[in-house]
Structure formats: C-alpha cells, structure tokens
Amino acid sequence: MTLADLLLRPEHSLLTQSWAPCDMRQGGTINADGFGVAWYPEQEGPPVRYRRATPLWSDESLPGLAETVSSGAVLAAIRSATVGMPVTEIASQPFTEGQWLFSHNGVIAGWPDSVADLARDLPVTDLMTMPAPTDSAFLWTLVRHRLRAGTSMRKAVADVVVSVGELAPGSRLNILLTDGETVVATAWWHSLSVLSTGERTVIASEPLDSDPAWTPVADRRLLVATRAGVDQHALT
C-alpha cells in the first residue's frame, strides 16, 4: 500500500481532515500547523520520516512522494497547535527514536504546571533533549524514558496516559506508538476508530472512509494491534 492510498485517496483522508475534520473535541477547527509521516522501508533499517511545518494541503512535494513509497507500517499525523506552542517542523509529529514512532493527538490541560511533578522523575538530559517545547513532545519523552528502561510498549503508554490524566483532568490523550510490528494506541477523551480486516489494521482519530467495518473505540481504552489482530484493554 502506498502512502497516497492512506493519506490522499480516501474520501476522508488525512488530507481532507487537515482542512475539514469532523471531531476535534474543542481542539480547534482545522489542522493547518504542520504534518508528518514516517514509514518502515521494505529493506531492513530504521523508519524514514517526512515532516513540514506547513499545512498538508500546501505541500507540493508530498503527492509525488506518496505515490512512489510503499510500506507495511505507516504513522502519520496532522497538527493543530495549541495556543502558545511553536509552529515549527521539529514540533510536527511523529517523533522517533530507533525503531519507535510516536504521535499524540490532544492536549495536556494546564500545561506545563499540571505535570511538573512528572518532569522531576526524568533525567535532566532527557528534558534537555526533548524534540520540541510542546506537551506532545513531553509525553513522548515520558514514554521514551520508560521504553529505554526496558518497559513494554503497552505498559509505557498506559502508565504515562493514566499518570497525566490523573494530574491534568480534562486532557485529551490519544497516543499512537509503534515499532513497525506492534501498534499501541489510547483513547482518552478524544475520538478514535479502528478498522481491522484480515489484510490490514488502521487506527485513526477519524475513519478514513465510509466502510462499515470501522469501529469507534470507547473512552479510556488501550488498543494493542499486531498481525494476529487487535486487543482492547481498560485504562485505569
């Protein structure tokens, strides 16, 4: 499957969602503050990432690239920047390290004061090397710290989402984390849907088309998707 098949062609593709989203949960009206897509190449190696700080619809290079790149695992995101946060390429997701790709859709309520206690548990170098001065990058830094320590993807994401949700009520914390083989996702006061067939699994904030197989994910749920299927678990 090409990047164009995921990002550009569906009737409610990420391209359409960049200017006409259906469910932003009070998070703005359009997603015009940047975008990013990362994919795992067919040959062995780390994922490749393409990011911009401009609206997805304005990038003239993406369509040609998207038509020629195929991958079995892709993570893409569009951005509506929270007021006061920078609109720069480094703030566009996904964030990456090694084989991991990460994105966050939502906002940490009361940022940054509400989660200052969590920052105290991080090594100073982790805070100094955050990929961007944003709440999404902070979430990635928290997850990354746990992954580096050997925590499983599922537990790293669940621990961070629950901890932040308790300290910052009202936060919207939809997270996607993948290593190219497994995808871990959360629904926390934000829309999330999953399409899982025998051939593919797609997890998205909004369904990409009208296929009746799309299933909305209930709030406070964690999804783990592998080649064997998708499991859901309560986030408590």
> Chain-centre distance of CA 85, in angstroms?
17
Q: What is the pLDDT of residues 189-223, one digit of tens each?
A: 999 999 999 889 999 999 999 999 999 999 999 99
Average pLDDT over residues 60-64: 97
pTM: predicted TM-score of the whole model, two decimal places: 0.96
Give the model's confidence band at 43: pLDDT under 50 very low, under 70 low, under 90 confident, else very high.
Answer: confident
What token pair was written down for 59? 């990038």
Q: What is the pLDDT of residue 75?
A: 98
Give yes or no for residue 82 having a pLDDT over 90.
no
Q: What is the pLDDT of residues 120-145, one digit of tens each?
A: 999 999 999 999 999 999 999 999 99
Beta strands in the chain (DSSP E): 35-39, 48-52, 74-78, 95-97, 100-107, 172-178, 183-187, 193-196, 201-204, 215-216, 221-226, 229-234
- Decide if 173 contacts 140 (C-beta within 8 A): no
Look at the alpha carbons of 67, 69, 73, 77 in this order and tell me if their dihedral is positive or negative: negative
Q: What is the pLDDT of residues 86-123, one digit of tens each?
A: 999 999 999 999 999 999 999 999 999 999 999 999 99
Q: What share of the chain in percent tops pLDDT 70?
A: 99
